[in-house]
Structure formats: C-alpha cells, structure tokens
Structure 1
Amino acid sequence: MLMKHIVDAYEVLDSTYVTGEKVKEYLLGIKPDANIEVYELVGPKGSTDMLKVRIPGTRGKMNGGDAPTIGLLGRLGGIGARPERIGFVSDGDGALCAVALAAKLLDMQNKGDFLEGDVFISTHICPDAPTAPHDPVPFMGSPVEMSQVNREEVSPELDAILSVDTTKGNRVINTRGFAISPTVKEGYILRTSEDLLDLMQITTGKLPYVFPLALQDITPYGNDVHHINSVLQPCTATNAPVVGVAITAETMVPGCATGATHASDVEEAARFMLEVAKAFGKGQCKFYDEEEYARLIKLYGDLKHFQTLGNE
C-alpha cells in the first residue's frame, strides 16, 4: 500500500515553490543516507529540476552483483502550469507516482525489506511549465526537450524500463485506473508481456487493460507526426525493453487540467510498478521473449531507424 506516500508526495509537489531540492529533502527525511541527485536542466523554454534516486539491491550492480536493474521513470511536461493554471495538473501524475515509489522503497529499506536488483527512479520537477496545443485536448508543454530528458534518464545500466505518464487525452483507452502498453524494443512493438499482465491482475484484482500503440507513437518527438503522448519516449533512446504505464480516465482530460488527479489510480499504478521491480530483480518477470525477438530480427532485420527522426 502506497497511499500514505502518494498523499505525502502530493503535499510536497502541489506548491508554486516546489523545487527538486525540496523533493530531495522530503526523501532524505525518510532515509538520510539515500542516493539522491538533483540538478537543473535548461531547455529552450526555461528549466526544470531533474531528480534521480538510486536504490541498491542486495544482488544489484551497485553492490557488485549481477541482478538486473529496472528503471522507473515518471514522464511529464510539468507538475504545474502556473500562472495560467493554479495547482497541480493532471500531467503531474507521472512525477507523483515516481516520487511516491522512491519514498516507499526507501521506507521499505528502513524496515528491513530490500529488493534483489537495483532500482533507478527518475522524474523532473517543474511547477510552471508551458501548455501546448494538441488534438483532441491540450497537452502540457515542457521547458526542456524530450531528447534532453531521455539523455538524463535513460542509461546503459537499465535492463528494463517502466515509463509512467498521465494518458487521458485520447479516445483509445477509456477506463479509470491505469493501462500498460505492449513491450517496445529497438523499433519493434512486441507482444504484451504475460508476466506483466499477471502482476497487473494480482495488484488490481481486475482484468488487465492494455492500450494500443501505433508505430508513430514509438518514434521520437520532433518528427511532426501525432503521438499518443510521451509515455513511450524512453524507447527511442535505449536498447532495453520499455513498457508504458498509462494513468487513464474514461473521458478525455487535458494534461493541463487541475483537480483531475485521482490518488487511488496513481497508487494502483505505483503498487503495480513496485511489484514488477520486486519480480524483475529476482529474475521472475520477463518483459519480452528473447528467442522470439531474435527470430524477428533474423526474419525482418532491425528496426532501429524508428528510434531516430528519420530522413526528410
């Protein structure tokens, strides 16, 4: 259960004065020796504070082990759109989920519960991001480019990535809660992981929801084609398998809308991601079938060009 951490993180984030350093202070208040990094990232429309939390596992690479490392990335444009909108915006749910996960994992270690694999958690903190036009509802913009965030968050140490993002401004997934994507790897949209579907059923107590992907959704921002949102953007910058965790709604909700965060939905998504991190570090959760992927490469070649901006 992460509801306390969701509420506490929300209280920290829902402020015009919030900074990456204030979030760091909150997390260090839970575990004073936590490995937390905060720094300013400057983009074409301003700046944001990058937040990185590294949580070592008992058999993780940080301790010289060989257990796989999972990345839990909170994707967003910003947590606020001030001064245009007052308060925490719907788009901020990805950051809220990531910060609550960091708080929970640190609290678990205080209580003697350690995962086997390392966990890398990252998001960025911006209470005054710009808005951006998008069909069918407005998006939150960002002071920095998506490629900049990818460079900061996506690293060779990650063996798999869960990318969580508010995904309510569409007509293709119409349920309250969260949905996952098929696994994306190096330009391929692969079958949805059975292990992830199992964990989703267990944590929600419901049948799983999977949202559809078009090929253009897994290409980089900046190529002037429509994307469902930024939830799969990490897949453009890594060879590791990536799965999107979309926090969803039955109706279309603009990313810049305030009063649209549902704590129970964010908690459910965070709890699912925590269980995936536990299982992945133990080698009990596969994001894709390696043999089947190798077969696809043999038959059809690599599709890494879809990770680029392509050719004009």
Structure 2
Amino acid sequence: MRTVEGDKGSTDFVSVTVPGRRGKLGGGHAPTLGILGRLGGVGARPERIGLVSDADGAVAALSAAAKLLDMHARGDVLDGDVTLSTHVSGWAPTQPHDPVPFMDSPVDTLTCNREEISPAMDAVVSIDTTKGNRLLNHRGVALSPTVCQGWILRVSEDLVAVLESVTGESARILPITTQDITPYGNGVHHLNSILQPAVATTAPVVGLAITAGSAVAGCATGASHETDIAVAARFAVETAKEFGRGVARFLDPEEFARLVELYGPMTHLQALTPAG
C-alpha cells in the first residue's frame, strides 16, 4: 500500500500480485492479468457519510484479491500471475456531471494509471461503477468491447462466455464511443473512467461495468448491491483462471494486426495532446 497526495487530498493505492504456477514471476511464460478497481473514492466525506456507489469497483477488486490469495494459500494456484490494484479514499470530492453527479478523485487519472498499471500486464479487466447514465438501464454487470492501442475492437466471445457462466444470464454489453477511450482532461464528455487504463498500456483492456436500472449518482450512499459486486469479483477470478491457461482471449491478434495494416495505428487516441 502506498499513500499518494494529490491536489484534492490523498488516497491509498493498494496492489496485490498473486503468483501463478507458470507465471512470469517464477520464470514461466503464462500471461499476466491485471484486475483494476476504478473509482474516484469510496467515500465523499464530509459531504456524504457512508460508502458511495462509486466504491463498487474497488470493493470488487479487493474481494477478488482476497479470494485469489485464499485459493493460493489452499493450493489452488492459477497458471498465470494476477495483479490486482485499486485505491481507497474516504474523503474524495464530488463533481458535476450529466445526468447525475460523479465522484471526483483526490489524484488525477495519470497518477491512477501510473500506480495501478504494470508493464507486466498482458491484458486488463477494469471494474467500475457505471450507473450514472441512461445508456444501459439494467441492474447487474455489463462487458465492454475490447480496447487496444486506440482501437475499439469487437466484443470478446471468450469473455462473454465467462460472463454468462458467472451470471447465468445473457450478457449485457456496455456501449462505448471513441471519446470514451481518450484521456481525461481533453475537454470532451466521457461515459466515466472505466476505460482510462486503455490510454496507458499497449495491452488489451475490457471494462466490466457495475450497472443500475436507473441513473444513480456516483456519490450516492446506500446504493451498492453486494450481489452485483460479488458477480464482478467472480467474473474477475474466472477470467484470471481462463486467461492464465490460454483459453480466454481478449482479442484476435491476427485480426488486430490486419486492422492496423489496413488503416494504420490509432495510438494517437491514447495521448492527451497528439503530435501533428
């Protein structure tokens, strides 16, 4: 854990790495999965008292870390390494946002990405509360398309299969736009920060959104649903199992290479001020 001071306060970054039996930490070649809990803060004191809705991503990531550590201690070791990261602040600010207020973060997004993302990650699952919109009105979880190096790619069929197995329901897909995958601070509207990790890595990133049937403010208290958080944590754990053993793919590497060959790189969308 590391405490980081920002312009709007401080927050504690927490990172846990669970080694795999064939992971890179042990000299193996199994891929490494990153699981990130994204949020502004778990609390908005003194404006609001209690756990805010925006905390769900952090709670899910920490729950997944606890489960994987317990499994490892009992001998249920995954093939690949898994790194789980988030931050925890009970005194985060809020900010206006349409249609409902967001939680702000004590530190900026660049700092979050620097603290939470590792070059060792071969793919990333970003878990974030995504209730403050009218685009997906369903209580539960939803999967985003894969985002890689500025490209919005097709939804991973492998991850859809994992999600449907975990929920026992048809998968919900989170609609995203090009501007949602650009860096914060460029003056355009973003759905939320769920895909901000994609601006800071060359690895494929998917968002796992914890959603609601109505627009719920990120700073609302009493709005978290333990069952939905548990589903998100279980999806993260099951994805880690399948990704580490090479079964679940976030993208088709040949298809991605063909897109870049035909239309060129889209990495300029990862930069706040692209050169040109």
CA deviations over 1:271-309 (Å, ceiling 9, x no partner): 111100000000001000111101100110000000011
Q: 2:88 and 2:119 mapped to 1: Cα distance?
A: 23
Aligned counterpart, 1:279: 242
Aligned counterpart, 1:262: 225
Give the secondary-structure state (helix, strand or coil) at the position aligned to 1:59.
Answer: coil
1:110/1:155 CA distance change after superposition, 3 Å: closer
CA deviations over 1:133-172 (Å, ceiling 9, x no partner): 1011000001100011101111210000000000000011
**Corresponding residue pairs, total:** 275
CA deviations over 1:32-57 (Å, ceiling 9, x no partner): xxxxxx11111111110110101000
Q: 1:56 and 1:232 mapped to 2: Cα distance?
A: 25
Please, what TM-score do these two structures have when normalized by structure 2?
A: 0.98
User: 1:257 offset after TM fit, Å?
Assistant: 0.1
Q: Give the letter for the 1:174 counterpart.
A: N
1:146-157 matches, within 5 Å, as 146-157=109-120
Aligned counterpart, 2:262: 299
1:1-312 matches, within 5 Å, as 38-311=1-274
Q: 2:137 and 2:200 mapped to 1: Cα distance?
A: 29
Q: 1:163 and 1:155 mapped to 2: Cα distance?
A: 13
Q: Over aligned residues, Cα RMSD in angstroms?
A: 0.9
Q: 2:127 and 2:274 mapped to 1: Cα distance?
A: 29
CA deviations over 1:177-210 (Å, ceiling 9, x no partner): 0001000000000000000011111111100000
Q: 1:93 and 1:124 mapped to 2: Cα distance?
A: 12
Q: 2:232 and 2:102 mapped to 1: Cα distance?
A: 21
Give the fraction of aligned pairs with identical amino acids, expressed as a percent. 59
CA deviations over 1:114-141 (Å, ceiling 9, x no partner): 1010000000010010001101100000
The question of whether the paired residues in 1 share the 8 Å contact of 2:268 and 2:274 is answered with: no
User: 1:216 offset after TM fit, Å?
Assistant: 0.2
Q: 1:295 and 1:234 mapped to 2: Cα distance?
A: 24
* Structure 2 stretches lacking a partner, 5+ long: none
User: 1:110 offset after TM fit, Å?
Assistant: 2.1
Q: 2:240 and 2:225 mapped to 1: Cα distance?
A: 23
Aligned counterpart, 1:15: none
Q: Give the letter for the 1:143 counterpart.
A: P
Q: 1:126 and 1:272 mapped to 2: Cα distance?
A: 25
Please, what TM-score do these two structures have when normalized by structure 1?
A: 0.87
User: 1:310 offset after TM fit, Å?
Assistant: 2.9
Aligned counterpart, 1:6: none
* Structure 1 stretches lacking a partner, 5+ long: 1-37
Give the secondary-structure state (helix, strand or coil) at the position aligned to 2:45.
Answer: coil
Give the secondary-structure state (helix, strand or coil) at the position aligned to 2:86.
Answer: strand
Q: Give the letter for the 1:246 counterpart.
A: A
Q: 1:45 and 1:258 mapped to 2: Cα distance?
A: 21
Q: 2:21 and 2:269 mapped to 1: Cα distance?
A: 36
Q: Give the letter for the 1:295 counterpart.
A: R
Moved over 6 A (4+): none
Q: 1:109 and 1:56 mapped to 2: Cα distance?
A: 8
Q: Give the letter for the 2:203 counterpart.
A: A
Give the secondary-structure state (helix, strand or coil) at the position aligned to 1:54.
Answer: strand
